[in-house]
Structure 1
Amino acid sequence: MESLQITAATPETALLDLPWRVPLEEWPADVLAALPRGISRHIVRFVKLGQRVLAVKETRDHYAFREYELLRRLGKLEVPCVVPVAVVTGRVDDDGEPLESAIVTEHLSFSLPYRAVFSQALRPDTATRLIDALAVLMVRLHLIGFYWGDVSLSNTLFRRDADRFAAYLVDAETGDLHRELTPGQRAYDLDLARTNIIGELFDLEAGELLDEEVDAIAIGDALVSRYEELWSVLTQVESFSADERWRVDERIRRLNDLGFDVGELAIVTDFDGSTVEIQPKVVDAGHHSRRLLRLTGLDVQDNQARRMLNDLDAWRAHTDRLMDSEQLVAHDWLIHSFEPTISAVPRELRKKLEPAQLFHEILDHRWFLSQNEGRDIPMPEAAVSYVDQVLRHRPDEALLSKDDDEDHDLLLG
């Protein structure tokens, strides 16, 4: 293996233990991790390396290095995407014949390709929720000047985020980072996304994985509408009279409700000061997750954070702590509500979902029980009921086995 070269930001000597002299599609089962995989034009495999699970994709040298650098830059910009680990070049087989290079990324725990999501028994609005997540991801990417070039459900991974999904970019091979995107670049990305998604949904329909009530073309159109609505709210210039300055605060609250923080506003008045124009200049996603992290140290998805903050507020009122410091109340909520609820779940079942998602679903289950029984169900009772009635029958989303569903045996791109 004298010609083998591994390029990584941090030392990754354990990668040398992988069978780089063998074509990726022939790697032995003892190094592979049985995870759900999406569709890709490249050969991709999940591998076990100690306590880690990595994704390995074969591609050409140029594309491997380019994607590696793009993913690193996107990570520094806090964009939801997979984490690059290394690029492996100089591969040859036992006969000395060259093999394709490989890019190695971290496996995104608790994530699912879209086909694995649809293979489970989910609500009919699943397609809509996936599209909403993808629209938010596209807007976040476009706001920082990232042109994707190959937007699709196949190039995205999804993680549960309360009653919604959060989307993560997986394949950045065709992407490019600019100072700012032109309207034409954004429009091309959006049109390509619509075309690809409609095709992917038709494919699901042919495989009888799509609810009969779902209109694939309408879902593709919905992506465009959702994207344009969100882009407008985040970037539009708003004009109002000088005596309506309360609308500045209203604009900020509206953006916060969408999960975005406003880092800077451009505020301009006309010559006589009778009209004011405002436009967000710096908009950062993750408003709720940053607030929860600041209060409790919990780092979760944004909609999960919103739900947990709502429960924190309710707990604060229930315990008559409205006049106490928010920081102190948050600490007590963490100790007396969140942690005991998660601890009530048997250790062997906790790997099925992330702790924040477990807490969200127990809250939902508690509401359902309270409605049925006409009384306020305590969280400990709700947790026990949720474990017995729901969680024991759920698949393990951290490491789903291919045996769980035949449709998982697909390639991840």
Structure 2
Amino acid sequence: METLQITAATPESALLDLPWRVPLEQWPADVLAALPRGISRHIVRFVKLRKRVLAVKETRDHYAFREYELLRRLQKLEVPCVVPLAVVTGRVDDDGEPLEAAIITEHLAFSLPYRAVFSQSLRPDTATRLIDALAVLLVRLHLVGFYWGDVSLSNTLFRRDADRFAAYLVDAETGDLHRELTPGQRAYDLDLARTNIIGELFDLEAGELLDEEVDAIGIGDALVARYEELWAALTQVESFSGEERWRVDERIRRLNDLGFDVGELAIVTDIDGTTVQIQPKVVDAGHHSRRLLRLTGLDVQDNQARRLLNDLDAWRAATDRLNDSEQLVSHDWLLHSFEPTIAAVPRELRRKLEPAQLFHEVLDHRWYMSQREGRDVPMPEAAVSYVDQVLRHRPDEQALIGETGDELYG
């Protein structure tokens, strides 16, 4: 006789309350959460559990355990991906017939599948920004030796990151983790990504969700170009004369501007020191987010962090605090600028966007107001205007718990 088994790093007794004796596609409405529709090879449902939203996917035992372990390892490597919670095996229905295993992950709050992004009224460059985020994710995965095997927009979730997007891996079922990927493995992943993305964009075009100006094939080619550009910036060997050693610092600053910290550099000189070669050996994404976290305690996306740091620097200059301690100024900026701006947003509207994204959009709104009115609009005034003119009309991008649906992705 089969016995229900739940394998989890952190036991969650509430999981036992879910209807595991029922096929996932027949789960009752009272446990489901309505979330934006995506596409999947498997049955996936979003469930409400103690004020949390979880994603449950049915698959075979072997694949469930394999994906669970891969996601855990990717988490330890600090790669953007969904958080694995548990694997449920030994499921049977009321007639004693076996049911597929299930892998449970946390739903990524404020995230959207690509079809939900395109269902909104967005700028024509939305596809380009999504592709740029996916290229960054693919490079980060390849740097840690992860071969995806099924790169696509459908297997990715997107979160707003200032004026860009951040991409998160959702489905790791076809992936594999190696010490280092071969050029052939990287090339295959990249070619598959291009093929899948072009197909997905054509599908959006057929559904009239894609702007007429978007060239699907051109977007696919742009992914390849962006990936190769970023990979070269992060890994290529650079040679220069011994008199140009300043280029070592320049290379590090260039990588910092791309959002990466350099943990280790290989520097080689010839016998007489006339030629120097450098190559980054260890690069870690999140340069700006780590600095903002250190200064303020805010844990946000990297481009959001870049924008907030720029505002912090501007606030520091405007308040004549350039000679004060950076830590002290950062605390005061948090207390007198960031927190009051977020507090100006009515509580019922704050779930629409993450706090850092709200602050970024208020900054944008303030700039447009100042340009239009020919004066320096104060942040409190800009925040009130943004709420009334923009935020109230925005869709809610946090996990919405409401009526049931047959949403699938992952």
Same fold (TM > 0.5) = yes
The answer to whether the Cα contact below 8 Å between 1:119 and 1:407 also exists between their aligned partners in 2 is no
**Structure 2: how far apart are the matches of 1:81 and 1:38?**
17
The answer as to whether partners of 1:115 and 1:408 remain within 8 angstroms in 2 is no
Q: Deviations over 1:54-91 (max 9, x none)?
A: 00000000000000000000001100000000000000
Deviations along 1:239-267, one digit per CA (max 9) or x if unpaired, are 00011111011100000000000001100
Equivalent residues of 2:110, 2:159 under 8 A apart: yes
1:162, CA displacement in angstroms?
Answer: 0.1
- Deviation readout 1:204-258 (Å, 9 max, x if unpaired): 0000000000000000000000000000000000000011111011100000000
Q: Secondary structure at the match of 1:128?
A: helix
Deviation at 1:411, TM superposition (A): 1.2
Shift of the alpha carbon at 1:305? 0.1
- Structure 2 counterpart SS, 1:323: coil
| 1:34 and 2:40 aligned | no
Deviation at 1:350, TM superposition (A): 0.4
Report how far residue 295 of structure 1 moved.
0.3
1:288 deviates by 0.2
**TM-score with structure 2 length normalisation?**
0.98
Tell me, in whole angstroms, the C-alpha distance in 1 between the residues paired with 2:286 and 2:73: 18
Inter-CA distance 130–409: structure 2 relative to 1 (3 Å threshold)? farther
Say which SS state the counterpart of residue 404 (structure 2) adopts. helix
Q: 1:144 corresponds to which residue?
A: 144
How far is 1:18 from its partner? 0.4
Contact 1:115–1:407, Cα closer than 8 Å, also in 2: no
Aligned residues: 408
- Please state whether the residue corresponding to 1:36 is helix, strand or coil: coil
Q: Rate the CA distance shift 1:24–1:53 in 2: closer, same or farther, 3 A.
A: same
1:115-160 deviations in Å (ceiling 9; x for gaps): 0000000000000000000000000000000000000000000000
Whether contact under 8 Å (1:72, 1:83) holds in the other structure is yes
Q: Distance in 2 between matches of 1:377 and 1:328?
A: 25
Residues 15-49 of structure 1, C-alpha deviations (whole Å, 9 max, x = no match): 01000010000001100000113101000000000
> In structure 1, how many angstroms separate the alpha carbons of the residues matched to 2:299 and 2:405?
29
Shift of 1:407: 14
- The whole-number CA distance in structure 2 between the counterparts of 1:229 and 1:277 is 20
Offset from partner CA, 1:376-410 (integer Å, 9 cap, x none): 0000000000000000011110024xxxxx99964
Q: Does 1:215 align with 2:193?
A: no
Q: Quote the Cα distance in structure 1 between the aligned partners of 2:118 and 2:309.
A: 30
Distance 1:277 1:369, change over 3 A: same
Change (3 A) 1:122 1:84: same
Instruction: Flag structure 1 segments of 5+ consecutive residues without an equivalent.
Output: 401-405
Identity %, equivalent residues: 90
State whether residues 35 and 407 of structure 2, in contact with CA within 8 Å, keep that contact through their aligned partners in structure 1: no
Matched, 1:283 2:283: yes
Cα distance in 1 for partners of 2:163, 2:379 equals: 19
SS of residue matched to 1:408:
coil
Q: Matches of 1:106 and 1:57 in 2, distance apart?
A: 11
Aligned to 2:405: 408
**Contact 1:36–1:408 under 8 Å retained in 2:** no
Change (3 A) 1:19 1:409: closer
Distance 1:213 1:18 in 2: 46
User: Does structure 1 retain, via aligned residues, the 8 Å contact 2:33–2:405?
Assistant: no
How far the C-alpha of 1:186 sits from its partner, in A, is 0.1
Conserved 8 A contact 1:266-1:279: yes
Contact 1:341 1:383 in 2 (8 A): yes
Q: 1:198, 1:217 within 8 Å by CA — same for their partners in 2?
A: yes
Matched residue SS, 1:80: coil
Distance 1:409 1:114, change over 3 A: farther
Indicate if the aligned counterparts of 2:2 and 2:92 stay in contact, CA closer than 8 A. no
- CA shift, 1:11, in A, is 1.1
Compute the displacement of 1:271 (Å).
1.3
Runs of 5+ in structure 2 lacking a partner?
A: none
Q: Supply the RMSD in Å over aligned alpha carbons.
A: 1.3
Find the aligned partners of 1:230 and 1:151 in 2 and give their Cα distance.
17
* C-alpha distance in structure 1 between counterparts of 2:406 and 2:54, whole Å: 17
Deviation at 1:359, TM superposition (A): 0.2
Distance 1:206 1:242 in 2: 57
CA 1:15/1:410 → structure 2, altered by over 3 Å: closer, same or farther? closer
Per the alignment, residue 403 of structure 1 pairs with none
